[in-house]
Amino acid sequence: MNLTHLDEKNHPKMVDVSQKDITQREACASGKIYMSKKAFEAIIENKAKKGPVLQTAIIAAIMGAKQTSNLIPMCHPLMISKVQTQIEENKEEYSFKLFVNVKCEGKTGVEMESLTAVSVGLLTIYDMVKAIDKSMQITDIVLESKEGGKSGKYLRS
């Protein structure tokens, strides 16, 4: 089996996508952060000392999507056309679930951009309330779906 990110001398390389067709690409990822009741309530009641936590996390997720190629070595820079977020609150387990949908027209997919966006968004939540709860847990960062390209559609079952 040949690894696509290694050349014939076993050196790392970026995959050549120049021969691929430009198609509509879209991917959605999600992840969760669990916390104490006190931290959860500080976020819900907008009483975190660092400011509006969820709004800041959304901005961070958008920035994370845009910066993915600067963070992940073999990712191609992409012209992203859309980053959309959704945050679900779960009062029973004191958690937030962040969904990020990323879209572009390009020669390679946006799975890494959506996964990076979720990670950065959740890390921002952690950063903004860590003074209240250092035991927060970020979990279940997964690709929910993707469309476009040669491999077609994927939907997490």
> Active site residue: 16, 21, 127, 140, which one?
127
pLDDT tens digits for 101-148?
A: 999 999 999 999 999 999 999 999 999 999 999 999 999 999 999 999
Type of residue at 73 = P
Domain ranges of the chain: 23-149
Q: Residues 19, 107: contact at Cβ < 8 Å? A: no
Q: Residues 147, 42: contact at Cβ < 8 Å? A: no
pLDDT of residue 94: 98
Q: What's the angle, vertex CA 70, arms to CA 68 and CA 72, rounded to 5?
A: 65
Block residue for tokens 């939907």: 155
Binding site residue list for substrate: 74-76, 112-113
SS3 42: helix
Assigned CATH class of 23-149: alpha beta
- Residue 137's DSSP bridge partners are 34
